[in-house]
Amino acid sequence: MFHKEGFKIIFIALVIVIGLSLLANVFIDNTTLRGGIIISLIILLLLILQFFRNPKRNFLVQPDTILSSVDGKVVVIEEVFEPEYFNDKRLQVSVFMSPINVHVTRYPVGGKVVFSKYHPGKFLVAWHPKSSEENERTTVVVNNKSFGDVLFRQIAGAMAKRIVNYAEVNQQVEQASDSGFIKFGSRVDIFLPLDANIKVALNQKVKGGISIIAEK
Residues marked active site are found at 186
Nearest to 97 by CA among 214, 189, 192: 189
Contact criterion met (CB below 8 Å) for 166 and 179? yes
φ/ψ of 168, rounded to 5, equals: -125, 140
Phi, psi of 24 (to 5 degrees): -65, -40
d(CA 48, CA 174): 29
Beta-carbon contacts of residue 205 (< 8 Å; ≥ 6 apart): 72, 73, 74
How many angstroms separate the CA atoms of 173 and 152, rounded? 14
- C-alpha 214/C-alpha 216 separation (Å) is 7
Cβ-contact 99, 50 below 8 angstroms: no
Contact 186, 155 (CB under 8 A): yes
> How far is it, in rounded angstroms, from Cα 189 to Cα 184?
17
Q: How many Cβ atoms from other residues are within 10 Å of residue 86's Cβ?
A: 14
Residue 195: closest CA among 102, 89, 103: 89
